[in-house]
């Protein structure tokens, strides 16, 4: 194909990775971001072997490894009985896989710096609210009523609340999930916490507390942990009215070692309340439009795949454009190359989330008995490890990628 004029909406992991791939494929790329200065939102996340393979393909693995924290195990126990209710080790799979937990700022900066050094045009303070699509091109419409274009292709990477994903075929909106979580990035203290594991404590499925070592936000930064507390956003006022002291007493009664983190939280405003929604676009494409990342599929972070799937989407789109003769067929190739993997993980996330975050009494009852009984018996450890790695179905081959060699 000729050199394409491409607009990317959103400077999150999906948009930044797509900008790098598409620019390196010799297209003219402009990145639009609604915030005045592009910056990361939220606390920390785990980059799985899938997302790490994409970062490696982009030449950014060493940079992310230098900032993040290697994760070998995901471990959770019932807060009162101490019974193990989650135990996943990457080492259950051959090949030496692991995850890397990162501060969101670290992932953002590594991608953003690469985008800057490629000389990609970034236009901030542009809130894209609509699209106009003509015979051979598309235009962005901003909240100020400005029409920007024309573009051969618009890439919607503006997250789950995208205002332009409605231009995709049979679009849909995220359905809010009952549970979200308070998150904070705090100074790391070992205090009995393993620096190579995500650790969680549960009480039924209504309470979940987590500590994830995430390394540094920047080279000069301090080692941090993401601390999270599962909660219903609808009950935020009730929680706040009861006061921070009561909430801290509750956490300490369930997991006393968390005192080193609670000491760093002065009030609820020191944490961010994340709300989760679930949606999957059946066709993440429209005329001159491709939808990638959370705009195309969002879910609860229970399986920790969102940012990783966003990175895979970016690679898939570039691969489809490189290997197709026109934009319309490239968009079909993009959608079909990601369909199986996305549907599998969206379905798994929908199925597993209520075992760990819901008002159900029966699901955590089953979890607390089933997981300890089966988690050591093959093939359960391997299945769980490939679910967490994002490789239960092969995401690499359909998008022209080979998994990174780990050792
Ligand atoms: C608390 C929490 C924990 C998570 N943990 C994990 C984890 O462990 N592992 C994992 O893989 N994923 C995790 N996720 C999911 C992950 O954060 C998302 O899947 C990922 O950020 C999606 O990237 P994205 O680029 O598609 O969207 P986003 O990160 O949402 O970025 C969208 C960008 O678009 C911009 N934008 C939005 N609207 C407009 C507009 N109208 N015009 C212009 N710009 C716009 C936004 O400002 C933003 O910069 C977690 C999510 C949450 C909330």
Q: Answer yes or no: is the C-beta of 149 below 6 A from any ligand 1 atom.
A: no
On whether the CB atoms of residues 346 and 48 are closer than 8 A, the answer is: no
Number of alpha helices (DSSP H) and beta strands (DSSP E) in the chain: 11, 22
> Does the pTM exceed 0.85?
yes
Task: Name which residue sits closest to atom 15 of ligand 1, judged by CA.
Answer: 306
Closest of 232, 253, 359, 357 to residue 303, by C-alpha: 357
| CATH T-level fold of 5-176+277-399 | FAD/NAD(P)-binding domain (3.50.50)
Q: Answer yes or no: is the C-beta of 115 below 6 A from any ligand 1 atom.
A: no
Which atom, in ligand 1's list, is nearest to the CA of 276? 53
One digit per residue, the tens of pLDDT, for the chain of length 407 reads 889 999 999 999 999 999 999 999 999 999 999 998 766 666 899 999 999 999 999 999 999 999 999 999 999 999 999 999 999 999 999 999 999 999 999 999 999 999 999 999 999 999 999 999 998 999 999 999 999 989 999 999 999 999 999 999 999 999 999 999 999 999 999 999 999 999 999 999 999 999 999 999 999 999 999 999 999 999 999 999 999 999 999 999 999 999 999 999 999 999 999 999 999 999 999 999 999 999 999 999 989 999 999 999 999 999 999 999 999 999 999 999 999 999 999 999 999 999 999 999 999 999 999 888 888 899 999 999 999 999 999 999 999 999 999 98
C-alpha distances out from residue 211 to 44, 75, 89, 312, Å: 10, 10, 17, 26
Residue 42 has a pLDDT of: 67
Which residue's structure tokens are 């309470």?
207
DSSP annotation string for 17-85:
HHHHHHHHTT-EEEEE-SSSS----SSEEEEPHHHHHHHHHTT-HHHHHHHSEEE-EEEEEETTT--EE
On whether the CB atoms of residues 97 and 90 are closer than 8 A, the answer is: yes
Q: Give the distance (Å) from ligand 1 centre to CA of residue 55.
A: 17
Q: Give the distance (Å) from ligand 1 centre to CA of residue 10.
A: 9
Strands 84-89 and 44-47: unpaired
Strands 5-9 and 153-156: parallel
Cis bond before residue 379 (omega within 30° of 0): yes
Q: In the numeric block, which tokens belong to residue 76? A: 């959770």
* Mutate-to-test residue for ligand 1 from 64, 127, 144, 158, highest number of ligand atoms within 8 A of CB: 158
Task: Name which residue sits closest to atom 12 of ligand 1, judged by CA.
Answer: 306
Which atom, in ligand 1's list, is nearest to the CA of 143? 41
On whether the CB atoms of residues 331 and 49 are closer than 8 A, the answer is: no
Residue 316 has a pLDDT of: 98
Residue 372 has a pLDDT of: 84
Domain segments of the chain: what residues? Answer: 5-176+277-399
Residue 407 has a pLDDT of: 80
Q: Answer yes or no: is the C-beta of 305 below 6 A from any ligand 1 atom.
A: yes
Which residues face 151 on adjacent strands?
Answer: 138
Laid out side by side, the sheet with 28-32 consists of 121-123, 28-32, 5-9, 153-156, 289-291, 285-286
Residue 41 has a pLDDT of: 65
On whether the CB atoms of residues 277 and 162 are closer than 8 A, the answer is: no
Q: Answer yes or no: is the C-beta of 79 below 6 A from any ligand 1 atom.
A: no
On whether the CB atoms of residues 157 and 169 are closer than 8 A, the answer is: no
């Amino acid at each position: 194909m000729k050199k394409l004029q491409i607009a990317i909406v959103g400077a999150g992991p999906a948009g930044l990775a797509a900008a790098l791939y598409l620019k390196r494929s010799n297209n003219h790329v402009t990145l639009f971001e609604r915030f005045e200065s592009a910056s990361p939102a939220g606390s920390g996340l785990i980059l799985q072997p899938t997302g790490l393979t994409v970062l490696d393909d982009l030449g950014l693995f060493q940079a992310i490894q230098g900032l993040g924290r290697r994760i070998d195990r995901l471990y959770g126990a019932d807060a009162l009985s101490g019974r193990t209710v989650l135990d996943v080790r990457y080492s259950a799979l051959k090949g030496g896989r692991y995850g890397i937990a990162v501060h969101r700022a670290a992932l953002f900066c590594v991608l953003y710096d690469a985008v800057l050094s490629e000389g990609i045009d970034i236009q901030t303070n542009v809130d894209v609210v609509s699209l106009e699509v003509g015979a051979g091109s598309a235009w962005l419409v901003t909240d100020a009523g400005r029409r920007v274009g024309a573009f051969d292709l618009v890439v919607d990477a503006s997250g789950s609340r995208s205002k332009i994903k409605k231009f995709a075929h049979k679009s849909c909106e995220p359905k809010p999930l009952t549970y979200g979580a308070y998150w904070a990035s705090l100074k790391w203290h070992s205090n009995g916490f393993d620096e190579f594991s995500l650790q969680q404590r549960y009480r039924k499925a209504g309470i979940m507390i987590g500590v994830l070592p995430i390394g540094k936000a920047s080279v000069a930064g301090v080692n941090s942990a993401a601390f999270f507390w599962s909660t219903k956003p609808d009950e935020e006022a009730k929680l706040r009215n009861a006061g921070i002291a009561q909430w801290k007493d509750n956490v300490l009664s369930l997991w006393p070692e968390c005192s080193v983190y609670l000491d760093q939280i002065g009030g609820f405003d020191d944490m961010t309340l994340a709300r989760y929604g679930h949606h999957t676009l059946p066709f993440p494409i429209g005329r001159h439009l491709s939808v990638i990342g959370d705009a195309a599929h969002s879910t609860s972070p229970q399986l920790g795949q969102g940012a990783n799937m966003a990175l895979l989407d970016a690679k898939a789109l570039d691969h489809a454009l490189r290997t197709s003769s026109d934009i319309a067929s490239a968009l079909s190739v993009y959608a079909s190359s990601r369909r199986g993997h996305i549907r599998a993980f969206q379905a798994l996330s929908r199925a597993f989330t209520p075992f760990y975050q819901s008002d159900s009494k029966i699901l955590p009852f089953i979890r607390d008995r089933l997981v300890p009984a089966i988690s050591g018996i093959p093939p359960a450890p391997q299945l769980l490890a490939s679910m967490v790695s994002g490789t239960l179905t092969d995401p690499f081959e359909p998008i022209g990628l080979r998994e990174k060699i780990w050792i």
